[in-house]
């Protein structure tokens, strides 16, 4: 075990996998000479050379397809998007090509590649640079969608992603890169997809979340504890596949659920979760599922407006109180 930053954990995962398997390579803007826009890949070009740690031009569609082609004939590329917002220019390659290659060819080849990078708001980066992309990629068969909220998860999940034969959307959070935590140095410690992690056990209410939202949820849980409310906080980690068993187990215990996403509505992960829970545990619920989500607007720049647009611990606490109080009718969710 070692104490390291989230970014270092990601780097360790890539370095170890690149040492283990010379088919693994990294490509993206600034990953090489600059050592990564957010210093995730620091030192990797020095260690592995320019071909395995490739600085690309700003051409996300081009290099995503390039990674796909390379993966179809045996490489295992990792594509770094400087942020996931920029993946949208490569959306067609990801959704129409990467996700479908194995099926359309009936397995003549696959696309063993990882697409990774940071997403999310909170740094005043404004509308085009602050988005959460999980729902856009969740809604496409052929892709895994995975998030990590801690350094340990970042390392273990990224290693799993690199070793998997299917394409993986790996979502980091810009606001987590500096966070520190204990990380195993076992080079074969893989955290499997589809396994949620109970980050805090509780009995009164289930809070479902992932990525950076874990922290306001944990904070809310701590504060609620003082009011004798025992909240269970579950970090879903991988969103597709989803650990429905873990969710239902908790719901059967608490009968009250709050889902918390930075992602917005509609057709987002929050509604997906609440809908699924209703479908599978209709009779277990003592109150409607509360949804706490990012405001459904392009992210504004002004600090105060941005803060209003991103859920915080207070919003989580209010939602917990609402679900435990169980009011009759809820406020309209659609504006």
Partner 1 sequence: MAEPATEEAAVACPYSNDELVDVYRKMLEARRFEERSAQAYTQAKIGGYCHLYIGQEASGAGFLSALRPNWDYVITAYRDHAAPLFMGSPPGPLMAELFGKATGVSGGKGGSMHLYDAKRGFMGGWGIVGGQIPIAIGLAFAAKYRNEDRVTICFIGDGAAPIGAFHESLNLAGILDLPIVFVIENNAWAMGTALKYTNSTPDLHMYGEGYNIEHRPVDGMDLFAVKRCADDAVAKARAGKPQLIESITYRYRGHSMADAGQYRTKEEVQEWRERDPVEWLAGYLKEHGILTEDELGQINDDVREAMKAAVEFADQSPLPGAEELYKNVYV
Ligand X SMILES: Cc1ncc(C[n+]2csc(CCOP(=O)(O)OP(=O)(O)O)c2C)c(N)n1
- Are the C-beta atoms of 94 and 64 separated by less than 8 Å? yes
Going by their DSSP bridges, the two strands 24-28 and 76-80 should be labelled as parallel
Q: Report the side by side order of strands in the sheet with 231-235.
A: 197-200, 231-235, 205-209, 257-260, 290-292
* Rounded Cα distance, 6 and 138, in Å: 24
The residue within the footprint of partner 1, chosen from 10, 12, 68, 310 (CB under 8 A), is: 68
Nearest CA-CA partner of 262 in 118, 65, 64:
118
Residue corresponding to tokens 């599978």: 280
* Rounded Cα distance, 41 and 33, in Å: 10
Nearest CA-CA partner of 82 in 102, 100, 57:
57
Question: Which residues bind to a copy of itself, rule: CB under 8 A?
Answer: 61, 85, 88-89, 91-92, 95-96, 99-100, 103-104, 126-128, 135-136, 138-139, 141-142, 240-242, 244, 264, 266-269, 271-272, 274-276, 278-280, 282, 285, 287-289, 291, 296-298, 300, 329-330, 332-334
Residue 278 sits in the site that holds ligand X (CB under 6 A): no
- Of these residues, 16, 17, 29, 60, which one is catalytic? 60
Residue 267 sits in the site that holds partner 1 (CB under 8 A): no
Instruction: Identify what 124 binds: a copy of itself, partner 1, ligand X, none; CB under 5 to 8 Å per kind.
Output: partner 1
- Of these residues, 97, 129, 173, 255, which one is catalytic? 129
Residue among 214 and 309 whose Cβ is closer to partner 1:
309
Would residue 60 show up in a list of annotated catalytic residues for this protein?
A: yes
Residue 60 sits in the site that holds ligand X (CB under 6 A): yes
Stretch that binds partner 1, among 6-14, 90-98, 198-206, 242-250 (CB under 8 A): 90-98
Nearest CA-CA partner of 158 in 22, 26, 318:
26
The residue within the footprint of partner 1, chosen from 5, 41, 56, 150 (CB under 8 A), is: 56
Query: 13: left (phi > 0), else alpha (psi -120 to 50), else beta?
Result: alpha
Residue 89 sits in the site that holds ligand X (CB under 6 A): yes
* Rounded Cα distance, 259 and 272, in Å: 10
Residue corresponding to tokens 């359309």: 104
The residue within the footprint of partner 1, chosen from 5, 41, 85, 274 (CB under 8 A), is: 85
Beta strands in 174-280 (DSSP E): 180-183, 197-200, 205-209, 231-235, 238-240, 257-260
* Rounded Cα distance, 257 and 118, in Å: 28
Min dist. Cβ of residue 93 to partner 1 (A)? 6
Residue 58 sits in the site that holds ligand X (CB under 6 A): yes
Min dist. Cβ of residue 214 to a copy of itself (A)? 20
Q: What are phi and psi of 212, to 5 degrees?
A: -65, -25
Instruction: Identify what 170 binds: a copy of itself, ligand X, partner 1, none; CB under 5 to 8 Å per kind.
Output: none
Residue 127 sits in the site that holds ligand X (CB under 6 A): no
The residue within the footprint of ligand X, chosen from 8, 16, 17, 29 (CB under 6 A), is: 29
The residue within the footprint of partner 1, chosen from 227, 279, 283, 303 (CB under 8 A), is: 303
Would residue 129 show up in a list of annotated catalytic residues for this protein?
A: yes
- Are the C-beta atoms of 189 and 302 separated by less than 8 Å? no
**Mask of contacts with partner 1, 130-169, x by CB under 8 A?**
-----------xxxx---------------------x---
Residue 297 sits in the site that holds partner 1 (CB under 8 A): yes
Residue 86 sits in the site that holds ligand X (CB under 6 A): yes
Q: Copy the structure tokens of residue 29.
A: 């803007």
Residue 91 sits in the site that holds ligand X (CB under 6 A): no
| Residues binding ligand X (CB under 6 A) | 29, 58, 60, 82, 86, 89
Active site residues: 60, 129
């Amino acid at each position: 075990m070692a104490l390291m930053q989230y970014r270092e954990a990601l780097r360790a995962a890539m370095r170890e996998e690149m040492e283990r398997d010379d088919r693994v390579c990294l490509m993206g803007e600034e990953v090489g000479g600059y050592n990564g826009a957010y210093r995730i890949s620091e030192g990797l070009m020095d260690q592995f050379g320019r071909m395995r740690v490739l600085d690309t031009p700003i051409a996300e569609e081009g290099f995503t397809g390039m990674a796909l082609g390379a993966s179809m004939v045996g490489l295992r590329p990792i594509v770094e998007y400087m942020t996931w917002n920029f993946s949208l220019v490569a959306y067609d390659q990801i959704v129409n090509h990467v996700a479908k290659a194995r099926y359309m060819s009936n397995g003549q080849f696959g696309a063993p590649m990882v697409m990774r990078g940071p997403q999310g708001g909170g740094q005043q980066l404004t509308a085009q640079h602050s988005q959460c992309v999980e729902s856009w990629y969740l809604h496409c068969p052929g892709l895994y969608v995975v998030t990590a909220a801690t350094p340990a998860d970042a390392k273990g999940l990224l290693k799993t992603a690199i070793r998997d034969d299917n394409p993986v959307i790996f979502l980091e959070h810009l606001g987590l890169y500096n966070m520190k935590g204990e990380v195993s140095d076992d080079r074969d410690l893989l955290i499997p997809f589809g396994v949620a992690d109970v980050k805090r056990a509780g009995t009164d209410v289930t809070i479902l979340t992932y990525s950076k939202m874990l922290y306001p949820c944990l904070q809310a849980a701590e504060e609620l504890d003082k009011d004798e409310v025992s909240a269970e906080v579950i970090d879903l980690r991988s969103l597709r596949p989803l650990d429905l068993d873990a969710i239902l187990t908790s719901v059967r215990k608490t009968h009250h659920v709050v889902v918390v996403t930075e992602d917005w509505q509609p057709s987002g992960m929050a509604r997906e979760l609440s809908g699924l829970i209703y479908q599978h545990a209709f009779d277990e619920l003592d109150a409607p599922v509360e949804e706490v989500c990012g405001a459904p607007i392009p992210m504004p720049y002004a600090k105060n407006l941005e803060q209003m647009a991103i859920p915080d611990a207070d919003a989580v606490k209010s939602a917990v109180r609402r679900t435990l109080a169980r009011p009759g009718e809820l406020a309209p969710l659609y504006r």
